[in-house]
């Protein structure tokens, strides 16, 4: 079959939601995905996501970052059905009410918190049941953790010892506080967006799933997107869309595909020998990401997750338990607990998020550290620095050039500096001191210059890039509040790239909500 009502590019967090909902509504949908199905044990077993899985991860690198003392950053991105929801830490966070009300204040009508809450609930199957803030009948399972390390519980207690409030629902009435995260798991297994929206429809006549393909460009005729050209190996094919195309390839690849199709900054396109169809400087611009610093401590406490013979044996036994019962340590998201708090007086909402990991983490887990310990992420929730995504070449097989421009704005390092100080205050509380921790990267926390230098030498992303196809009310914005691309008909974008401002938290749940909304917009445009 070469013609469909809708072609969806990318089966990640947003794309799976769009494709599934449109197919359910009776539309014929072709879903194009570069990776595979992502149904193996390395994906479905939560605790195995710490093991590198190149088949499910683009493993991008940034250009050298001046704000990180010339270092290149690591940018893991999901490849395959489920996208980054198949490789992430499964933390279910929506962001803060203020984020969405601010989107509306920026001119994104229909995106205030009260507008988006029903769509979060529509997507959600929360095992706690339905409530004012949660849904219980949606396809995306959200669960309390089956197992939490004693150190993760001690982290929450340590925060409480500093008079920081507990919070057992970061997606409820208030975000502030510290607690154990809920996760996107069902019965102890990872529940990606693909498992929620796509796999239940496998075999449906309405949904044609094509994996292992590389999108070359959009087919544009007389100002309308009519299809997609893609390659499988050395063969090139075109699939037609009667109603339109939804681009959901993610914050890095969605602008790349637009630029390869002639939609983007005119000068940059001409430099790459690409015919300019629409001069749109905002495509690939306004990149925002949560800059993150990981403090870590060594410990001799064997309750922690450790890279020792005994620790590895324990995890091997845990894997056997998980295969038999779907319980135990292998259900861990590693980032088991966390918190949200204001460290700057003028912040309208929490400006730092913490993720506590009951293991020593170095260089995104790529550098193995022997022994036991724990780590504490602190990330800036609303950074002011802005970066870009540009073409590295005209070859769609090559990744784009990614420049987050981390810590270019002094306000970001000022906020992160206070977040790191708070991390050490929490680690210094009696509940965590009981683990007899030893700081792996000691520094004079009262010396701004020393602390800033350590941050610039060690900070990097916490994996939440957004904004490169921003939504807004103006002609200079990439998409309008109905997620339609400005300047061409029959093209929608549904992923984190449309966020006009980054949300105050993890981005998987908001991306799925965006997919839910886009499906609604497409159905309204094409007729249900």
pLDDT digits (tens, 9 = 90+) for 403-447: 999 999 999 999 999 999 999 999 999 999 999 999 999 999 999
CB 165 within 8 A of CB 176: yes
Closest CA to 83 of 514, 396, 484: 514
Q: Distance between CA 399 and CA 392 in Å, rounded? A: 7
Tens of pLDDT, residue by residue over 204-227, are 999 999 999 999 999 999 999 999
CATH of the domain at 206: 3.50.50.60
Query: Does 278 lie in the same domain as 302?
Result: no
Residue 353 within any structural domain of the chain:
yes
Query: Does 521 lie in the same domain as 420?
Result: no
Residue 527 makes CB contacts below 8 A (sequence gap 6+) with: none
Query: Does 2 lie in the same domain as 114?
Result: yes
Cα atoms found within 13 Å of the Cα of residue 502, Cβ hemisphere only: 27
Per-residue model confidence (pLDDT) at position 51: 87
Tens of pLDDT, residue by residue over 31-55, are 999 999 999 999 999 999 988 899 9
Residue 65 within any structural domain of the chain:
no
User: Quick one: DSSP state of residue 207?
Assistant: E
The count of other CB atoms within 10 Å of the CB of residue 441 is 13
Per-residue model confidence (pLDDT) at position 528: 66
Residue 464 among the catalytic residues? yes
Q: How far is CA 454 from CA 69, 416, 441, 447, in A?
A: 10, 11, 8, 11
Place of tokens 């959009």: 218
CATH of the domain at 318: 3.30.410.40
Query: Does 133 lie in the same domain as 99?
Result: yes
Q: Which conformational region is residue 362 in: left (phi greater than 0), alpha (psi within -120 to 50 degrees), or beta?
A: beta
Place of tokens 């959901």: 248
Domain total of the chain: 2
Query: Does 167 lie in the same domain as 274?
Result: no
Query: Does 278 lie in the same domain as 306?
Result: no
Q: Is 247 exposed, middle or buried, given 0-12, 13-18 or 19+ CB atoms closer than 10 A?
A: buried
CB 126 within 8 A of CB 280: no
Tell me the chain's radius of gyration from C-alpha atoms: 22
Residue 15 within any structural domain of the chain:
yes
Residue 70 within any structural domain of the chain:
no
- The boundaries of the domain holding residue 88 are 1-38+77-142+183-287+387-401+466-528
User: Quick one: DSSP state of residue 182?
Assistant: P
Closest CA to 425 of 161, 150, 181, 167: 161
Query: Does 303 lie in the same domain as 211?
Result: no
Query: Does 442 lie in the same domain as 344?
Result: yes
Q: Name the catalytic one among 125, 290, 377, 464.
A: 464
Residues of the chain with pLDDT under 50: none
Q: How far is CA 199 from the centre of its chain?
A: 21
Residue 165 within any structural domain of the chain:
yes
Query: Does 248 lie in the same domain as 127?
Result: yes
Residue 72 within any structural domain of the chain:
no
Query: Does 153 lie in the same domain as 115?
Result: no
Residue 376 within any structural domain of the chain:
yes
DSSP assignment of 335-384:
--EEEEE--STT-SS--EEEEEESS---GGGTS---BEEEEEEEEESS--
Query: Does 255 lie in the same domain as 217?
Result: yes
Per-residue model confidence (pLDDT) at position 163: 98
Residue 52 within any structural domain of the chain:
no
Query: Does 197 lie in the same domain as 169?
Result: no
Q: Which conformational region is residue 442 in: left (phi greater than 0), alpha (psi within -120 to 50 degrees), or beta?
A: beta
Segment (H or E) for 242: strand 235-247
Hey, is 227 helix, strand or coil?
strand
Residue 524 makes CB contacts below 8 A (sequence gap 6+) with: none
Place of tokens 């090559």: 398
**Adjacent-strand bridge partners of 209:** 31
Q: Distance between CA 353 and CA 379 in Å, rounded? A: 5
């Amino acid at each position: 079959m070469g013609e469909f009502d809708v072609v969806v590019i990318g089966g990640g967090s947003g794309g799976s939601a769009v494709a599934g909902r449109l197919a359910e509504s009776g539309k014929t949908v072709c879903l194009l995905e570069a990776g595979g199905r992502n149904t193996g044990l390395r994906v479905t077993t939560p605790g195995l996501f710490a093991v590198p899985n190149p088949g499910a991860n683009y493993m991008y690198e940034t250009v050298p970052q001046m704000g990180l003392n010339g270092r290149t950053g690591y940018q893991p991105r999901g490849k395959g059905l489920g996208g980054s929801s198949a490789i992430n830490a499964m933390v279910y966070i929506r962001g803060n009410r203020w984020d969405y009300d601010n989107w509306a204040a920026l001119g994104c009508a229909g995106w205030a918190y009260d507008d988006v809450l029903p769509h979060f609930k529509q997507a959600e199957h929360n095992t706690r049941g339905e409530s004012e803030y949660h849904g219980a009948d949606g396809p995306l399972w959200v669960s309390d953790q089956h197992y939490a390390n004693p150190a993760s519980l001690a982290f929450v207690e340590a925060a409480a010892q500093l008079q920081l409030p507990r919070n057992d629902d970061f997606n409820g009435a208030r975000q502030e506080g510290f607690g154990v995260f809920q996760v996107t798991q069902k019965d102890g297994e990872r529940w990606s967006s693909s498992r929620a929206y796509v796999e239940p429809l496998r075999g449906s006549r309405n949904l044609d799933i094509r994996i292992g393909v590389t999108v070359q460009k959009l087919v544009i005729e007389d100002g309308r997107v009519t299809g997609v050209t893609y390659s499988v190996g050395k063969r090139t094919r075109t699939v037609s869309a009667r109603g339109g195309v939804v681009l959901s390839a993610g914050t890095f690849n969605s602008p790349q595909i637009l630029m390869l199709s002639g939609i983007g900054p005119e000068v940059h396109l001409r430099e790459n020998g690409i015919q300019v169809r629409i001069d749109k400087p905002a495509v690939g611009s306004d990149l925002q990401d949560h800059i993150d610093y990981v403090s870590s401590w060594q410990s001799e406490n064997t309750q922690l997750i450790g890279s020792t013979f005994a620790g590895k044996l324990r995890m091997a036994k845990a894997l056997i338990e998980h295969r038999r019962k779907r319980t135990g340590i292998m259900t861990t998201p590693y980032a088991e607990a966390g918190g949200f708090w204001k460290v700057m007086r003028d912040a309208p909402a929490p400006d730092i998020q913490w993720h506590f990991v009951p293991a020593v983490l170095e260089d995104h887990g790529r550098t193995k550290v022997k022994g036991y310990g724990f780590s504490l992420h602190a990330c800036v929730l609303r950074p002011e620095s802005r970066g870009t995504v540009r073409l590295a070449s005209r070859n769609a097989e090559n990744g784009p050039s990614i420049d987050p421009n981390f810590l270019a704005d002094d306000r970001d390092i000022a906020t992160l500096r206070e977040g790191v100080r708070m991390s050490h205050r929490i680690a210094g509380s009696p509940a965590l001191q009981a683990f007899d921790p030893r700081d792996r990267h000691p520094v004079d926390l009262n010396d701004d210059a020393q602390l800033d230098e350590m941050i610039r030498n060690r900070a990097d992303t916490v994996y939440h890039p957004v904004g490169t196809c921003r939504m807004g009310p103006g002609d200079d914005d990439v998409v309008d509040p109905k997620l339609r691309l400005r300047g061409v008909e029959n093209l929608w974008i549904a992923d984190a790239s449309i966020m006009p401002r980054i949300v105050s938290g993890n981005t998987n749940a908001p991306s799925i909500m965006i997919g839910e909304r886009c499906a609604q917009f497409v159905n309204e445009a094409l007729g249900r």
